[in-house]
Amino acid sequence: MTDTALQPVPRVSGRSTLGLLLRTPTFLIGLTITLFWALCAAFWAYVVPYDPLQDDVISALLPPDAAHWFGTDQLGRDVFSRVIAGSRDILTVAPLATLLGTFCGTAIGLVAGYNRGWVDEVISRIIEAFLALPLIIVALIALVALGPSTLTVIVVIGISFTPIIARTVRAAVIQERELDYVLTAQLRLEGPLHIMFVEILPNIVPPILVESTVRLGYAIFAVATLSFLGFGIQPPSPDWGLSVATNYGMIGGGFWWTVLFDALAIATLVVGVNLLADGTGAALRD
Amino acid sequence: MAALTLFLLSVLVFFGGQVLPGDIGRALLGPFADARAVEALNRELGVDQPLLSQYLNWIGGLLRGDLGMSYAFRSPVAPFVTQALGKSLKLAALAFVLVVPLAILAGIVAALREGRPADRIITTVGLSFSVMPEFVSGIVLILVFGIWLRWLPIAATWPEGAGALTQVRHLLLPAMPLFLVLFGYIARMARAGTIEALGADYTRTAVLKGLPWRAVIWRHVLRNALLPTITVVATQSGYLIGGLVVVETLFRYQGIGSLIYTAAKAKDFPMLQAGVLVVGGVFILATLLADILATLLNPRLRRGQSA
């Protein structure tokens, strides 16, 4: 690691940030909701009363009762079990896409912000042009061209997040590179790669963390929407967006339980992650 | 800048469309069609030429106002696109007419009560709505207002020859999910702008010279708070395109979003390309309009440009 004497004074110590976070009500609510769904995604198999994929045509479209808390869908599958198990795919795809975008965006932002000059100019122009492209349209084209698959969804969302994260990182790097520790490293004749990734990167973790938590919220939004449109997670997954897409044609017939619980599941997850992001942002910015 | 984006979009939509189908004529006519018929169709559609010349032909056609032929309908794309665009503009206009005044009002109220419960509620609720996928809020709204309360029709398509009021009634439910997403964004910008204006020197001067509070708000604070908001409203028209795809699919409304979606599913690339580019054009127009409005409202920008 680097010479400790040259480390800048940390602006917020880790302990006080965590303490501040745990005293923020929005953060706590967000954390509780997100953790609940994360636990469902990890351990759904031990919790669900029925197999979420098992058809049972005799008990199709039963309204909620004691045996089936959320009723059953048109194939007789238990909606409660499907809602619990439906957290798995979206909570795999969305974080992976966010991770990919954060990774690429950080690398590009570091290079653009640290080098300035024409490198920065070119990268910034490309970033701006990409930022103006509507995500859903780009995703639609890519998924039509490449065929819908989980990997395509991760790559498409990850790539579309890259310019956004690159912009945030670039702004942070431009502030950071004027500080003394960067100059010291330059005087020590450290290479640019070393300065970017070893010296600067650890100091811009907070803004990257805030931005990627916000992005996670949008990733969930995007994955759910693409699955609803049939370009995301594919059957027979009990994914929420997919379930809504399969069943919403019947809500005119009064089978509200086949879509309402899935919709509410997405709603709570999206709100939870965003409260988490909002709380993190507020705590790290102050 | 805007032109670069449009160019990028055109390349993306064109070459994205070329990756998959090896033989479009074969795909359209089916596996049992005569080989000569397939070849003739390929020549008719121009898909037997090299990609670059296809791209240039297509761009050239666009510049002359020729949007191409639909693979699925075997007829020019243009009438479909214009009709769909008209429908979408109606839906988008309704959403904007409702959301802009209400969201700005909410943002100002939140800013004037900064840090107090009213502010917290508006900010948190606004944030939660702005990240809600449209089909989720759409489903809940359909259930509550369309099916349980029966206040609004759940079909977006109105009967032939219906009056403006009936059309609005049918569009109200589809406009709501867009409203909710936009509300949070615009309210946040209006709030931030107002807070900044409240803390500015000119506001202090206005208060100190004895101007009544109401006049300070109207004449000094609001005018400056609205500037960033207008820019946001315009950039949100970019979001709106994605939103329209979802809402129009959910409510089975034949707008441009649903046209793009259907074309994508049917691999009808000329239709897809035309739809995406028209939408990109509208987006750029909106951005331009916002720039002009911002200049009109901001004397500093106005003077800066004439000098």
**pLDDT, tens digit, 9 for 90 and up, residues A1-16:** 444 444 444 454 556 6
Task: Give Cα separations from B183 to A114, B78, B188 (angstroms).
Answer: 37, 33, 8
> Quick check: A274 contacting B, CB < 8 Å?
yes
Q: Which chain A residue's Cα is nearest to B135?
A: A225
Q: How confident is the model at residue B79 (pLDDT cuts 50, 70, 90)?
A: confident
Closest-approach residue (CA) in chain B for A125: B1
Cα separation of B15 and B12, whole Å?
A: 6
* Residues of chain A contacting residue B17, judged by C-beta atoms under 8 Å apart: 141, 144-145
DSSP H or E run through B142:
none
Which site among A27, A33, A133 would you substitute to test the B interface, given the most B Cβ atoms closer than 10 Å to its Cβ? A133
- In whole angstroms, how far apart are CA A82 and each of A78, A125, A245, A254? 6, 45, 14, 20
Q: Do B142 and A251 touch (CB under 8 A)?
A: yes
Residue A145 has pLDDT above 60, yes or no: yes
pLDDT of residue A71: 83
Q: Answer yes or no: do B4 and A129 touch at CB < 8 A.
A: yes
Q: Between the CA atoms of B149, B151, B155 and B160, what dihedral angle is there, to the nearest 10 degrees?
A: 150
**Mean pLDDT in residue range A217-227:** 92
Q: B238 pLDDT band (50/70/90 cuts)?
A: low
Q: What are the residues whose beta carbons fall under 8 Å from the beta carbon of A7, sequence distance 6 or more?
A: A181
A133 in contact with chain B, both atoms CB, cutoff 8 A:
yes
* Separation CA B237–CA B278 (nearest Å): 13
Question: Is the pLDDT reported for residue B145 higher than 60?
Answer: yes
Q: Which of A230, A259, A267 sits opposite B132 (nearest CB)?
A: A267
Q: Tell me, what amino acid is at B299? A: P
B210: closest CA of chain A, how far (Å): 34
User: What is the SS3 string spanning A243-286?
Assistant: HHHHHHHHHHHCCCHHHHHHHHHHHHHHHHHHHHHHHHHHHHHC
Q: Which residue has the higher pLDDT, A25 or A170?
A: A170
User: B108 or B25: whose pLDDT is higher?
Assistant: B108
Residue B19 in this model has a pLDDT that exceeds 70: no
HEC per residue, B104-115: HHHHHHHHHCCC
Tell whether the model's pLDDT for residue B123 goes beyond 50.
Answer: yes
Quote the pLDDT of residue B27: 63
Tell me what the mean pLDDT of segment A84-88 comes to.
91
Whose structure tokens read 């069943």?
A247
Interface-testing mutation among A135, A138, A141, A228, with chain B (most B C-beta atoms within 10 A): A141
Give pLDDT, residue A9: 45
Per-residue pLDDT at B153: 81
| Chain B residues within an 8 Å CB radius of A279 | none
**What's the mean pLDDT when you consider all of chain B?**
80
Instruction: List the 186-245 stretch of B: residues with Cβ below 8 A of A.
Output: 238-239, 241-243, 245
Q: Is some CB atom of chain B closer than 8 A to the CB atom of A125? A: yes
A136 vs A268 pLDDT, higher one: A268
Q: Is A27 on the interface with B (CB under 8 A)?
A: no
More confident residue, A7 or A84: A84
User: What predicted TM-score, i.e. pTM, was given to this entire model?
Assistant: 0.84
Q: Residues of B with CB below 8 A from A266's CB?
A: 133, 136
Sorting pLDDT into bands at 50, 70 and 90, what band is A147?
A: confident
pLDDT at B157: 77
Could you tell me what percent of chain B has a pLDDT over 70? 84
B245:A224 CB<8 A: no
Q: Distance (Å) from the C-alpha of residue B1 to the closest C-alpha of chain A? A: 7
Give the least confident one: A5-19, A147-161, B113-127.
Answer: A5-19
Name chain B contacts of A142, Cβ cutoff 8 Å.
16
CB contact, 8 Å: A275 with chain B? yes
Residue A264: its chain B contacts at CB < 8 A? 140
Burial class from Cβ neighbours inside 10 Å (0-12, 13-18, 19+) for residue B66 reads middle
Q: For the purposes of burial, counting CB atoms within 10 Å of the CB of A262, is it exposed (0-12), middle (13-18) or buried (19 or more)?
A: buried
- Comparing A124-128, A209-213, B91-95, the range with the smallest average pLDDT is A124-128
Radius of gyration for the alpha carbons in chain B, expressed in angstroms and rounded? 24
CB-CB contact of B106 with B183 (8 Å):
yes
Cβ separation of B245 and A259 shorter than 8 Å? no
Q: What is the mean pLDDT of residues A29-56?
A: 88
Quickly list H helices, chain B.
2-18, 24-29, 35-45, 51-63, 78-112, 117-130, 134-141, 164-198, 201-208, 213-215, 223-250, 256-266, 269-297, 299-306
Lowest-pLDDT range of A47-51, B83-87, B260-264: A47-51
Does residue B286 carry a pLDDT above 60? yes
Mutate to test the interface with A, among B129, B135, B140, B276 (most CBs of A within 10 A): B135
Arithmetic mean of pLDDT, B14-25: 60
Q: A-chain residues within 8 Å CB-CB of B246?
A: 136, 225, 228-229
CB contact A221 to B (< 8 Å): yes
Number of other residues whose CB lies within 10 A of the CB of residue B200: 14
Over range A232-249, report the average pLDDT: 88
In the predicted structure, residue A95 carries a pLDDT above the cut 60: yes
Ranges of H-type helices in A132-254? 135-146, 150-176, 180-187, 192-194, 205-229, 240-247
Q: Does residue A249 register a pLDDT over 90?
A: no
pLDDT score of B306: 44
Q: Is the pLDDT of residue A268 over 80?
A: yes
Q: Which of residues 233-272 of A touch B (CB under 8 A)?
A: 241, 244-245, 248, 251-252, 254, 256, 259-260, 263-264, 266-267, 270-271
Residues 63-82 of A with CB under 8 A from B: none
CB contacts of A271 in chain B (<8 Å) are 128, 131-132
Q: What percent of chain A has pLDDT over 70?
A: 93
Banded pLDDT at B168 (limits 50, 70, 90) = confident
For position A31, what pLDDT does the model report?
92
> Percent of chain A, pLDDT > 90?
29
Q: Are A140 and B260 in contact (CB < 8 Å)?
A: yes
Q: How far is B264 from chain A (nearest CA, A)?
A: 6
- Is A122 part of the contact surface with chain B (CB cutoff 8 Å)? no
Among the partner-chain residues A133, A143, A144, the one whose CB lies closest to the CB of B8 is: A133
pLDDT at residue A255, rounded to an integer: 83
Q: Is A193 on the interface with B (CB under 8 A)?
A: no
Chain A CB contacts of B245 below 8 Å: 136-137, 140, 229
Question: Residue B147 and residue A146: Cβ atoms within 8 Å?
Answer: no
